[in-house]
Amino acid sequence: MPKPNIHPQWYPEAKVYCDGEVVMTVGSTKPELHVDIWSGNHPFFTGTQKILDAEGRVERFRRKYSGSTKAQQTPKGKKGTDKAAAKANPSKASKKR
């Protein structure tokens, strides 16, 4: 037996509304629930879902990055700049860690 006066009111026939229409009844602690999406109008459940990505992710990645290897290499001027900055100002280098 539940303790008295600590549990919320239970509504076994709470009505669920979507776009102003009652779509189902469920048990809830609120007498009415207003939702924007439910299984009756969601594209995944109705079968009207559009597949935006006709090309696979792996193929798209390979096509995007297979062209040049220069993008993967670091520029010559950028190499070692953090070490030079750490020698010039050691207090800033310790704050980065």
pLDDT at res. 27: 95
> pLDDT tens across 8-21, in order?
999 999 999 988 88
Please give the pLDDT value at position 3.
Answer: 84
Tokens of 38: 């439910």
Render pLDDT for 40-56 as a digit per residue (tens, 0 to 9): 887 777 777 666 666 67
Residue 96 three-state SS: helix
| 87 three-class SS | helix
Domains belonging to the chain, first-starting first, are 1-49 (4.10.80.400)
Tell me whether strands 11-18 and 32-35 are parallel, antiparallel or unpaired: parallel
